[in-house]
Chain A
Amino acid sequence: MAGNVWRSTVPRVMGAIKTQTPQPRTFSRGIQTVTLIPGDGIGPEISTAVMKIFEAAKAPIQWEERNVTAIKGPGGKWMIPPEAKESMDKNKIGLKGPLKTPIAAGHPSMNLLLRKTFDLYANVRPCVSIEGYKTPYTDVDLVTIRENTEGEYSGIEHLIVDGVVQSIKLITEDASRRIAEYAFEYAKNNQRNSVTAVHKANIMRMSDGLFLRKCREVAENFKDVKFTEMYLDTVCLNMVQDPSQFDVLVMPNLYGDILSDLCAGLIGGLGVTPSGNIGANGVAIFESVHGTAPDIAGKDLANPTALLLSAVMMLRHMGLHSYAKKIETACFDTIRDKKVLTKDLGGNSKCSEFTADICKRVQDME
């Protein structure tokens, strides 16, 4: 009898030792494998550029390239190829280039598929003014965190009678709490001072009211981060007049979509904006949000800045801050120098020249 009890406790004890609580990501020892999804159009060129720069910086990253074209799985449901899925599940970190969504291909957009497969609930977009790429707004330094799974983009629409359409916006307690918690943790881990919840609870009193209540509850647990709430229209009004007053913004889906693109416009557009998607189970996919630019694909004219800055964001997420700082500084220095800029930044150099300049700077920094 005692033997039975002993035999049942030992595996339990062993199990408890094996399954440790998930630690914050510190991959500072050993080489970390990252799934790379080059994408379509200019995707392969900019991915190669990023790989070259990482090699020059001697970052401890090993790339595993995968393709994500939708295939029809058993049961008729569209899904991403199983090799891609298991690679992501194993590595947990991914870097993605622009994906093409063919119209009338029968399957939903690839971004939507990826989001559903890995439950990518938070979209994080840090917007920092780039010295050297002048826009009318010079002091932008904010982060937009957008809830990515529900809200207005739930896709639930009905034709009630001919000529009347209803779209349903869904707000749930769990999703709101999850995104609020992520926002405050992000603020704490990245030394940001305040989190602002953006909402329209004076009009959509129940739905945004619920979102706001959850944010307030989560704010109670993070007393050292300042929490404010602001109406969406006030944020838009103040954002174009004085963007320096904002720090971290957290909001539901539609407002996040609009505000994150607005902030990208403030710093110079989608060609220089990084973006990251955080999912449940520690999965994180970092991507460039611009299009595939089929007209310049293959001509060595693309600008790899967006993908490069997303990769830098990825390094920070993994805890490799020194490499991140090195590559980011090299990139900003190259842009500030204005000698080898690609066409969209105002110069007329090739992508390979731009990349080579950054590689040289990174190596000089050793």
Chain B
Amino acid sequence: MVKAQKLKSAIEDLCLSLHLKSTMAAVLRGSLVTLAKGLNGAWLQRLCTRSLSLTSSQNVLEVPPARADSTFKVTMVPGDGVGPELMTAVKEVFKAADVPVEFEEFHLSEVQNMASEEKLDEVLASMKNNRVAIKGKIHTPMEYKGELASYEMRLRRKLDLFANVVHVNSLPGYSTRHNNLDLVIIREQTEGEYSSLEHESVSGVVECLKIITRVKSRRIAKFAFDYATKKGRSKVTAVHKANIMKLGDGLFLQCCAEIAELYPKIKYENIIIDNCCMQLVQNPYQFDVLVMPNLYGNIIDNLAAGLVGGAGVVPGESFSAEYAVFETGARHPFAQAVGRNIANPTAMLLSASNMLRHLNLEYHANMVSEAVKKVIKQGKVRTSDLGGYASSEEFTRAVIANLAF
């Protein structure tokens, strides 16, 4: 496109300088353009872009404009359940949109004895190399052999993915009981109740430790306030249960309050978790950014996802100081839907779009997210969780058809 235009303008200049009559010039222009389009060689482009002066015979190469010059490498871990199907959707959309991203796939699973340390190390090495990943949910079975921590937890700890951000936005065109929601939920992901430190001290009595540290609480609070500042949000609410767990959640709350003093422009509040749940179902508009420890984050992520349409529509991401992992907001493997082609790819596609934005590929990111939102707004092609009858493949094809170049 761009080359043809440049060719045209160059020929026009040439014609003008030769003072050709308009009709003849048009004919000349037309034939030259068709010739150029047919040949489409790099030398012809250079012919157009170089200046028509004597010194230009020195063959100075100019870089072709407006195309990413290399592809980004991204680690992909499809996970269990419907993960592989959703990843297929992402790959198809990326191919159709000509997105310069190359995926390095790893199939990591804890189910059926496929767990192995080498696989985990491979994934970690790839992640450390690429720094960006897109991932499905790795199912954590209830039975355990040896280690109490699941694969996902170990992955998070090794990469230190301490912050999980879930964007809860109502989809235009799909109405639920609460419309026009716009929340961000930030959850500390490495400590808290998920420390997997459990022991049976006496037979019949099991103790599970919940660890809260000042360092990590400060870190997540700072992340929350920085995120709020960057995205122009006005309020951060800390969610806790410090009236019962006075030392643990009390420490978390204290850290949040300390960090809040460094950001005078952002309003800071706190709310108890059970009251927060009640307020979310009665009046969710009073919240803006929520920050909380691990378990409460799990509960509120899922609750808020349910408010806007379920696990199939909410994207989420996990950050560490060096890595970014993109996934769905409510993380469920959805094993009942495997092979039935009914899963909703919206969440994964929106998350993939966020990943492109993170990689500074704004153009492609907007293209993908606009296409997804357009399909949902039109309402003709919807998967069963949004009340429609389309399959995942049909939805993906509709998104591809709506990609606006």
Known contacts A157-B247, A262-B278, A266-B281; A169/B140 CB under 8 A: no
Complex CA gap A72/B277 in Å reads: 36
- Find the residue from B277, B303, B311 having the highest chain A CB count within 10 A: B277
Contacts of B282 in A (CB 8 A): 135, 265, 269
A87 to chain B, nearest CB (A): 29
Instruction: Pick from B93-101, B113-121, B141-149, B364-372 the stretch touching chain A.
Output: B141-149
Is B274 in the interface zone, CB < 8 Å from A? yes
Complex CA gap A157/B251 in Å reads: 12
Q: Which of A234-292 contact B (CB under 8 A)?
A: 234, 236-241, 254, 257-262, 264-266, 269-270
Digit string of B131-159 for contact with A (CB within 8 Å is 1, else 0)?
Answer: 00000000011111000101001000000
Q: Which of A130-171 contact B (CB under 8 A)?
A: 135-137, 152-153, 155, 157-159, 162-171
Is A228 in the interface zone, CB < 8 Å from B? no
**Are A205 and B213 closer than 8 Å at their CB atoms?**
no
Is A44 in the interface zone, CB < 8 Å from B? no
**Are B210 and A265 closer than 8 Å at their CB atoms?**
no
**Are B215 and A239 closer than 8 Å at their CB atoms?**
no
Q: Which of B207-231 contact A (CB under 8 A)?
A: 207-215
Instruction: Pick from B62-70, B190-198, B317-325 the stretch touching chain A.
Output: B190-198
A341 to chain B, nearest CB (A): 18
Known contacts A206-B199, A262-B277; A237/B303 CB under 8 A: yes
**Are B212 and A167 closer than 8 Å at their CB atoms?**
yes
A209 to chain B, nearest CB (A): 6
Known contacts A163-B215, A173-B205, A207-B206; A157/B306 CB under 8 A: no
Is B245 in the interface zone, CB < 8 Å from A? yes
**Are A166 and B209 closer than 8 Å at their CB atoms?**
yes
Q: Which of B242-277 contact A (CB under 8 A)?
A: 244-248, 250-251, 273-275, 277
Instruction: Pick from A56-64, A115-123, A196-204, A331-339 the stretch touching chain B.
Output: A196-204
**Are A205 and B251 closer than 8 Å at their CB atoms?**
no
CB-CB nearest in chain A for B215: A163
Complex CA gap A167/B212 in Å reads: 8
Contacts of A236 in B (CB 8 A): 277, 299, 302-303, 306
Complex CA gap A266/B282 in Å reads: 7
> Which listed residue (A168, A207, A261) contacts B275, Cβ 8 A?
A261
CB-CB nearest in chain B for A204: B208
**Are A204 and B198 closer than 8 Å at their CB atoms?**
yes
> Which listed residue (A153, A174, A266) contacts B204, Cβ 8 A?
A174
Q: Which of A288-330 contact B (CB under 8 A)?
A: none
CB-CB nearest in chain B for A156: B207
Known contacts A205-B142, A206-B148, A210-B206; A237/B198 CB under 8 A: no
Count of interface residues, chain B, beta-carbon cutoff 8 Å: 59
B22 to chain A, nearest CB (A): 67
Is B84 in the interface zone, CB < 8 Å from A? no
Complex CA gap A340/B246 in Å reads: 43
A275 to chain B, nearest CB (A): 13
B222 to chain A, nearest CB (A): 15
CB-CB nearest in chain A for B197: A166
Known contacts A262-B281, A269-B282; A164/B244 CB under 8 A: no
**Are A168 and B150 closer than 8 Å at their CB atoms?**
no
Is A172 in the interface zone, CB < 8 Å from B? yes
Contacts of B140 in A (CB 8 A): 202-203
Contacts of B303 in A (CB 8 A): 236-237, 239-240, 262
Q: Which of A176-214 contact B (CB under 8 A)?
A: 200-207, 209-210, 212
**Are B311 and A137 closer than 8 Å at their CB atoms?**
no
A332 to chain B, nearest CB (A): 20
**Are A166 and B148 closer than 8 Å at their CB atoms?**
no
Known contacts A172-B204, A172-B205, A265-B282; A205/B246 CB under 8 A: no
Contacts of A257 in B (CB 8 A): 273-274
**Are B281 and A240 closer than 8 Å at their CB atoms?**
yes
**Are A203 and B150 closer than 8 Å at their CB atoms?**
yes
Complex CA gap A173/B200 in Å reads: 11
Is B234 in the interface zone, CB < 8 Å from A? no
Known contacts A237-B305, A237-B310; A136/B178 CB under 8 A: yes
**Are A261 and B277 closer than 8 Å at their CB atoms?**
yes
Complex CA gap A234/B335 in Å reads: 13
Known contacts A163-B214, A237-B311, A239-B306; A169/B281 CB under 8 A: no
Q: Which of B287-310 contact A (CB under 8 A)?
A: 295, 298-299, 301-303, 305-307, 309-310
Known contacts A137-B281, A165-B247, A240-B306; A232/B299 CB under 8 A: yes
Is A224 in the interface zone, CB < 8 Å from B? no
**Are B278 and A265 closer than 8 Å at their CB atoms?**
yes
**Are A203 and B194 closer than 8 Å at their CB atoms?**
yes
B303 to chain A, nearest CB (A): 5
Known contacts A158-B247, A167-B245, A262-B281; A203/B196 CB under 8 A: yes
Complex CA gap A152/B251 in Å reads: 16
A150 to chain B, nearest CB (A): 9
A178 to chain B, nearest CB (A): 13
Contacts of B278 in A (CB 8 A): 261-262, 264-265, 269-270
16 residue pairs of the A-B complex, CB under 8 angstroms, read A152-B193, A157-B247, A159-B247, A168-B209, A169-B208, A171-B206, A171-B208, A205-B143, A209-B142, A237-B311, A237-B332, A240-B177, A240-B306, A258-B277, A262-B274, A265-B279
**Chain A residues within CB distance 8 Å of chain B:** 135-137, 152-153, 155, 157-159, 162-174, 200-207, 209-210, 212, 232-234, 236-241, 254, 257-262, 264-266, 269-270
- Beyond A162-B214, A203-B140, A207-B208, list 4 extra A-B contacts (CB 8 Å): A172-B205, A204-B198, A233-B330, A262-B274
